Amino acid sequence: MTIPTAFAPKPRAYRLFSYVGTLPFFLVHLACFAAIWTGVSWWSVIMCFSLYYIRMFGVTAGYHRYFAHRSYKASRVVQFCIALLAQSSAQKGALWWAAHHRHHHKASDTPEDRHAPKYGFLNSHFGWILNPDNDETAYELIPDLAKFPELRFLNEYHLLPPFALGALSYFFGMWMGNAWEGLVVGFFWSTVLCWHGTFTINSLTHLWGKRVYPTTDDSRNSFILAMITCGEGWHNNHHYYQTSCRQGFRWWQIDLSYYGLTALSWLGLVSKLKQPPQAILDLGLRPLDDSAGAGSTVTATVAATDAAMEAEQAATSELTLAK
Protein backbone atom coordinates (compact mmCIF):
# COMPACT_ATOMS: atom_id res chain seq x y z
CA MET A 1 0.00 0.00 0.00
CA THR A 2 1.29 3.46 -0.92
CA ILE A 3 1.58 5.71 2.12
CA PRO A 4 0.49 9.33 1.40
CA THR A 5 3.40 11.75 1.33
CA ALA A 6 1.72 13.80 4.07
CA PHE A 7 2.30 10.86 6.45
CA ALA A 8 6.04 10.61 5.79
CA PRO A 9 8.36 10.81 8.85
CA LYS A 10 9.23 14.39 9.75
CA PRO A 11 12.70 15.87 10.44
CA ARG A 12 13.94 15.94 14.03
CA ALA A 13 13.60 19.72 14.39
CA TYR A 14 10.02 19.61 13.15
CA ARG A 15 9.18 16.78 15.54
CA LEU A 16 10.59 18.62 18.57
CA PHE A 17 8.60 21.75 17.70
CA SER A 18 5.48 19.70 17.09
CA TYR A 19 5.72 17.90 20.43
CA VAL A 20 5.78 21.28 22.16
CA GLY A 21 2.58 22.00 20.25
CA THR A 22 0.87 19.05 21.98
CA LEU A 23 1.03 20.82 25.35
CA PRO A 24 -2.45 22.38 24.95
CA PHE A 25 -3.93 18.86 24.76
CA PHE A 26 -2.60 18.10 28.23
CA LEU A 27 -3.27 21.59 29.60
CA VAL A 28 -6.96 21.28 28.71
CA HIS A 29 -7.06 18.09 30.77
CA LEU A 30 -5.43 19.90 33.69
CA ALA A 31 -7.84 22.82 33.31
CA CYS A 32 -10.70 20.49 34.20
CA PHE A 33 -9.40 20.38 37.78
CA ALA A 34 -10.03 24.12 38.08
CA ALA A 35 -13.61 23.11 38.89
CA ILE A 36 -12.31 22.66 42.45
CA TRP A 37 -12.23 26.45 42.64
CA THR A 38 -15.02 27.43 40.25
CA GLY A 39 -17.55 25.06 41.73
CA VAL A 40 -19.99 22.80 39.89
CA SER A 41 -23.66 23.70 39.60
CA TRP A 42 -26.64 21.97 38.01
CA TRP A 43 -26.61 24.33 35.04
CA SER A 44 -22.93 23.76 34.23
CA VAL A 45 -23.37 19.97 34.36
CA ILE A 46 -26.34 20.22 31.96
CA MET A 47 -24.24 22.54 29.79
CA CYS A 48 -21.37 20.03 29.83
CA PHE A 49 -23.47 17.08 28.70
CA SER A 50 -25.37 19.18 26.17
CA LEU A 51 -22.15 20.39 24.56
CA TYR A 52 -20.79 16.85 24.70
CA TYR A 53 -23.63 15.31 22.71
CA ILE A 54 -24.02 18.27 20.34
CA ARG A 55 -20.35 18.10 19.44
CA MET A 56 -20.32 14.30 19.38
CA PHE A 57 -23.07 14.59 16.77
CA GLY A 58 -20.79 16.97 14.86
CA VAL A 59 -17.96 14.43 15.02
CA THR A 60 -20.03 11.39 14.05
CA ALA A 61 -22.49 12.90 11.58
CA GLY A 62 -20.01 15.49 10.31
CA TYR A 63 -16.37 14.41 10.36
CA HIS A 64 -17.19 10.73 9.95
CA ARG A 65 -20.39 10.08 8.02
CA TYR A 66 -20.31 13.19 5.83
CA PHE A 67 -16.72 14.22 5.18
CA ALA A 68 -14.99 10.84 5.44
CA HIS A 69 -17.68 8.63 3.88
CA ARG A 70 -20.06 10.98 2.01
CA SER A 71 -22.99 8.88 3.23
CA TYR A 72 -25.51 11.68 2.63
CA LYS A 73 -25.83 14.92 0.68
CA ALA A 74 -25.82 18.52 1.89
CA SER A 75 -25.78 21.95 0.29
CA ARG A 76 -22.57 23.93 0.33
CA VAL A 77 -23.84 26.19 3.11
CA VAL A 78 -24.95 23.25 5.25
CA GLN A 79 -21.65 21.52 4.51
CA PHE A 80 -19.79 24.54 5.91
CA CYS A 81 -21.99 24.56 9.03
CA ILE A 82 -21.35 20.84 9.53
CA ALA A 83 -17.62 21.51 9.39
CA LEU A 84 -17.94 24.34 11.94
CA LEU A 85 -19.86 22.12 14.34
CA ALA A 86 -17.46 19.20 13.92
CA GLN A 87 -14.39 21.37 14.42
CA SER A 88 -15.83 22.88 17.60
CA SER A 89 -14.79 19.53 19.13
CA ALA A 90 -11.13 20.57 18.70
CA GLN A 91 -10.21 17.45 16.72
CA LYS A 92 -8.43 19.35 13.94
CA GLY A 93 -9.80 20.23 10.51
CA ALA A 94 -12.56 18.39 8.70
CA LEU A 95 -10.27 17.73 5.72
CA TRP A 96 -7.47 16.45 7.94
CA TRP A 97 -9.93 14.18 9.78
CA ALA A 98 -11.49 12.81 6.59
CA ALA A 99 -8.13 12.09 4.94
CA HIS A 100 -6.82 10.18 7.93
CA HIS A 101 -10.03 8.23 8.28
CA ARG A 102 -10.10 7.19 4.63
CA HIS A 103 -6.54 5.96 4.99
CA HIS A 104 -7.56 4.07 8.14
CA HIS A 105 -10.19 2.10 6.24
CA LYS A 106 -7.73 1.17 3.51
CA ALA A 107 -5.14 -0.01 6.05
CA SER A 108 -7.29 -0.98 9.03
CA ASP A 109 -5.39 -2.99 11.66
CA THR A 110 -2.29 -3.32 9.49
CA PRO A 111 1.13 -1.76 10.25
CA GLU A 112 0.18 1.17 7.97
CA ASP A 113 -2.88 2.00 10.09
CA ARG A 114 -2.15 5.14 12.10
CA HIS A 115 -4.16 3.97 15.12
CA ALA A 116 -4.36 0.17 15.17
CA PRO A 117 -4.65 -0.92 18.84
CA LYS A 118 -2.78 -4.18 18.19
CA TYR A 119 0.33 -2.03 17.77
CA GLY A 120 -0.19 -0.05 20.97
CA PHE A 121 -3.35 0.82 22.88
CA LEU A 122 -2.35 4.32 23.99
CA ASN A 123 -1.20 5.21 20.51
CA SER A 124 -4.53 4.06 19.07
CA HIS A 125 -6.46 6.01 21.69
CA PHE A 126 -4.76 9.41 21.51
CA GLY A 127 -1.03 9.07 20.77
CA TRP A 128 -1.49 9.00 17.01
CA ILE A 129 -3.23 12.38 16.92
CA LEU A 130 -0.28 13.93 18.79
CA ASN A 131 2.34 12.28 16.55
CA PRO A 132 4.00 14.94 14.36
CA ASP A 133 4.13 12.44 11.48
CA ASN A 134 0.34 12.76 11.31
CA ASP A 135 0.17 16.56 11.36
CA GLU A 136 -0.34 17.18 7.65
CA THR A 137 -3.49 16.76 5.58
CA ALA A 138 -3.25 14.15 2.79
CA TYR A 139 -5.12 16.18 0.19
CA GLU A 140 -4.64 13.46 -2.42
CA LEU A 141 -7.08 11.31 -0.44
CA ILE A 142 -9.83 13.97 -0.41
CA PRO A 143 -10.00 15.60 -3.87
CA ASP A 144 -13.78 15.82 -3.56
CA LEU A 145 -13.43 18.04 -0.48
CA ALA A 146 -10.19 19.91 -1.18
CA LYS A 147 -11.81 21.85 -4.03
CA PHE A 148 -13.83 23.97 -1.58
CA PRO A 149 -11.78 27.01 -0.46
CA GLU A 150 -13.95 27.58 2.61
CA LEU A 151 -13.21 24.05 3.84
CA ARG A 152 -9.49 24.53 3.20
CA PHE A 153 -9.67 27.77 5.21
CA LEU A 154 -11.36 26.01 8.13
CA ASN A 155 -8.87 23.17 7.88
CA GLU A 156 -5.97 25.63 8.08
CA TYR A 157 -7.48 27.59 10.98
CA HIS A 158 -9.08 24.63 12.71
CA LEU A 159 -8.85 26.16 16.17
CA LEU A 160 -11.23 29.02 15.38
CA PRO A 161 -14.46 27.07 16.12
CA PRO A 162 -13.34 25.67 19.52
CA PHE A 163 -11.97 29.07 20.59
CA ALA A 164 -15.27 30.69 19.62
CA LEU A 165 -17.23 28.07 21.55
CA GLY A 166 -14.96 28.53 24.55
CA ALA A 167 -15.65 32.26 24.51
CA LEU A 168 -19.40 31.67 24.24
CA SER A 169 -19.20 29.25 27.16
CA TYR A 170 -17.45 31.88 29.26
CA PHE A 171 -20.07 34.51 28.49
CA PHE A 172 -22.93 32.08 29.06
CA GLY A 173 -21.39 31.29 32.44
CA MET A 174 -21.18 35.02 33.15
CA TRP A 175 -24.90 35.30 32.39
CA MET A 176 -25.56 32.40 34.77
CA GLY A 177 -23.47 34.06 37.48
CA ASN A 178 -20.11 32.28 37.17
CA ALA A 179 -18.13 32.85 33.97
CA TRP A 180 -15.24 30.55 34.88
CA GLU A 181 -17.58 27.71 35.76
CA GLY A 182 -19.13 28.00 32.30
CA LEU A 183 -15.67 27.79 30.72
CA VAL A 184 -14.24 25.04 32.93
CA VAL A 185 -17.22 22.73 33.47
CA GLY A 186 -19.25 23.61 30.41
CA PHE A 187 -16.45 23.80 27.85
CA PHE A 188 -13.30 22.07 29.13
CA TRP A 189 -15.09 19.10 30.71
CA SER A 190 -17.22 18.48 27.62
CA THR A 191 -14.19 18.87 25.34
CA VAL A 192 -12.16 16.23 27.19
CA LEU A 193 -15.14 13.88 27.38
CA CYS A 194 -15.80 14.33 23.67
CA TRP A 195 -12.15 13.64 22.86
CA HIS A 196 -12.03 10.39 24.77
CA GLY A 197 -15.51 9.33 23.69
CA THR A 198 -14.38 9.68 20.08
CA PHE A 199 -11.04 8.00 20.74
CA THR A 200 -12.73 4.86 22.11
CA ILE A 201 -13.84 4.04 18.58
CA ASN A 202 -10.22 3.87 17.41
CA SER A 203 -9.09 1.85 20.41
CA LEU A 204 -11.81 -0.11 22.23
CA THR A 205 -14.05 -1.04 19.29
CA HIS A 206 -11.14 -2.92 17.74
CA LEU A 207 -10.61 -4.86 20.99
CA TRP A 208 -13.91 -5.14 22.84
CA GLY A 209 -17.37 -6.15 21.62
CA LYS A 210 -19.11 -8.59 19.30
CA ARG A 211 -18.24 -9.40 15.71
CA VAL A 212 -21.24 -9.92 13.43
CA TYR A 213 -19.61 -9.48 10.01
CA PRO A 214 -16.38 -11.19 8.86
CA THR A 215 -14.35 -8.07 8.08
CA THR A 216 -10.66 -8.08 7.26
CA ASP A 217 -9.92 -6.17 10.49
CA ASP A 218 -10.72 -6.52 14.22
CA SER A 219 -13.74 -4.17 14.33
CA ARG A 220 -16.50 -4.97 16.83
CA ASN A 221 -19.98 -3.82 17.86
CA SER A 222 -20.57 -2.41 21.33
CA PHE A 223 -23.92 -1.18 22.71
CA ILE A 224 -22.19 0.78 25.49
CA LEU A 225 -19.85 2.60 23.11
CA ALA A 226 -22.75 3.25 20.74
CA MET A 227 -24.54 5.09 23.56
CA ILE A 228 -21.42 7.11 24.35
CA THR A 229 -20.74 8.04 20.72
CA CYS A 230 -24.21 8.57 19.20
CA GLY A 231 -24.13 5.28 17.30
CA GLU A 232 -20.48 4.86 16.32
CA GLY A 233 -20.18 1.81 18.54
CA TRP A 234 -21.77 -0.35 15.83
CA HIS A 235 -18.29 -0.39 14.39
CA ASN A 236 -18.22 -3.87 12.89
CA ASN A 237 -21.39 -3.01 10.93
CA HIS A 238 -19.69 0.13 9.68
CA HIS A 239 -16.44 -1.54 8.66
CA TYR A 240 -18.34 -4.14 6.67
CA TYR A 241 -20.48 -1.61 4.80
CA GLN A 242 -18.78 1.76 5.12
CA THR A 243 -20.96 3.94 2.91
CA SER A 244 -24.15 3.47 4.96
CA CYS A 245 -25.36 6.55 6.80
CA ARG A 246 -27.14 4.23 9.24
CA GLN A 247 -24.69 2.27 11.36
CA GLY A 248 -27.21 0.61 13.67
CA PHE A 249 -28.44 -2.05 11.25
CA ARG A 250 -31.04 -3.54 13.65
CA TRP A 251 -34.03 -1.79 15.22
CA TRP A 252 -32.51 -2.22 18.66
CA GLN A 253 -29.09 -0.87 17.62
CA ILE A 254 -29.61 2.71 18.76
CA ASP A 255 -27.95 5.22 16.44
CA LEU A 256 -28.56 8.77 17.65
CA SER A 257 -26.57 10.37 14.83
CA TYR A 258 -28.72 8.64 12.23
CA TYR A 259 -31.89 9.75 14.01
CA GLY A 260 -30.59 13.32 14.03
CA LEU A 261 -29.71 13.20 10.35
CA THR A 262 -33.14 11.76 9.57
CA ALA A 263 -34.74 14.72 11.37
CA LEU A 264 -32.54 17.12 9.40
CA SER A 265 -33.63 15.40 6.18
CA TRP A 266 -37.27 16.08 7.09
CA LEU A 267 -36.33 19.77 7.31
CA GLY A 268 -34.65 19.60 3.90
CA LEU A 269 -31.17 20.38 5.26
CA VAL A 270 -29.64 17.04 4.21
CA SER A 271 -30.76 14.39 1.75
CA LYS A 272 -30.06 10.99 0.18
CA LEU A 273 -29.13 9.21 3.39
CA LYS A 274 -27.54 5.97 2.21
CA GLN A 275 -28.86 2.68 3.63
CA PRO A 276 -27.35 -0.81 3.87
CA PRO A 277 -28.73 -3.17 1.20
CA GLN A 278 -31.02 -5.97 2.35
CA ALA A 279 -28.38 -8.54 1.41
CA ILE A 280 -25.98 -6.94 3.92
CA LEU A 281 -28.66 -6.94 6.63
CA ASP A 282 -29.48 -10.60 5.96
CA LEU A 283 -25.80 -11.57 6.13
CA GLY A 284 -25.58 -10.12 9.63
CA LEU A 285 -28.24 -12.59 10.82
CA ARG A 286 -26.15 -15.64 9.94
CA PRO A 287 -23.75 -17.30 12.38
CA LEU A 288 -20.33 -15.72 11.95
CA ASP A 289 -17.55 -17.91 10.61
CA ASP A 290 -14.52 -15.73 11.28
CA SER A 291 -11.94 -18.50 11.20
CA ALA A 292 -10.85 -17.92 7.62
CA GLY A 293 -10.10 -14.24 8.16
CA ALA A 294 -10.30 -12.37 4.87
CA GLY A 295 -12.50 -14.72 2.87
CA SER A 296 -13.65 -14.16 -0.68
CA THR A 297 -17.01 -12.75 0.44
CA VAL A 298 -15.30 -10.23 2.66
CA THR A 299 -12.79 -9.26 0.01
CA ALA A 300 -15.54 -8.78 -2.56
CA THR A 301 -17.64 -6.67 -0.21
CA VAL A 302 -14.76 -4.46 0.90
CA ALA A 303 -13.66 -4.01 -2.71
CA ALA A 304 -17.19 -3.13 -3.74
CA THR A 305 -17.67 -0.52 -1.01
CA ASP A 306 -14.22 0.99 -1.63
CA ALA A 307 -14.91 1.15 -5.36
CA ALA A 308 -18.32 2.73 -4.79
CA MET A 309 -16.87 5.47 -2.58
CA GLU A 310 -13.94 6.16 -4.93
CA ALA A 311 -16.28 6.29 -7.92
CA GLU A 312 -18.48 8.80 -6.13
CA GLN A 313 -15.51 10.95 -5.20
CA ALA A 314 -14.33 10.90 -8.81
CA ALA A 315 -17.74 11.86 -10.18
CA THR A 316 -17.37 15.59 -9.71
CA SER A 317 -20.65 16.33 -11.39
CA GLU A 318 -22.43 14.24 -8.76
CA LEU A 319 -20.58 16.03 -5.97
CA THR A 320 -21.28 19.57 -7.16
CA LEU A 321 -23.18 21.08 -4.27
CA ALA A 322 -25.97 23.65 -4.40
CA LYS A 323 -24.83 27.17 -3.72
pLDDT reported for residue 185: 98
Task: Return the pLDDT at 112.
Answer: 86
Predicted pLDDT at 314: 52
Count of CB atoms situated within 10 Å of the CB of 278: 8
Would you write out the chain's pLDDT as a tens digit for each of its 323 residues?
Answer: 556 666 656 555 445 546 677 889 999 999 999 999 999 999 999 999 999 999 999 999 999 999 999 999 999 999 999 999 999 999 999 999 999 999 999 989 888 888 888 888 988 998 888 888 888 899 999 999 999 999 999 999 999 999 999 999 999 999 999 999 999 999 999 999 999 999 999 999 999 999 999 999 999 999 999 999 999 999 999 999 999 999 999 999 999 999 999 999 999 999 999 999 999 999 887 877 665 444 334 444 444 555 554 555 454 434 434 44
pTM of the model: 0.88
Residues 6+ apart with CB under 8 A from 82: 58, 61, 62, 66, 67, 74, 94
pLDDT value, residue 294 = 40
Burial 227-260 (b: 16+ CB within 10 A, else e): ebbbbbbbbbbbbbbbbbbbbbbeeebbbbbbeb
Closest CA to 96 of 109, 81, 112, 114: 114
The H or E element that residue 148 is part of is none
pLDDT for position 89: 97
- Nearest CA among 267, 302, 306, 282 for reference residue 74: 267
Which is nearest to 322 in space by CA: 79, 113, 10, 51? Answer: 79
pLDDT number for residue 120: 87
| pLDDT value at residue 22 | 83
pLDDT of 19 reads: 65
210 backbone dihedrals φ, ψ, rounded to 5°:
-110, 135
CB 172 within 8 A of CB 186: yes
pLDDT at residue number 10:
52
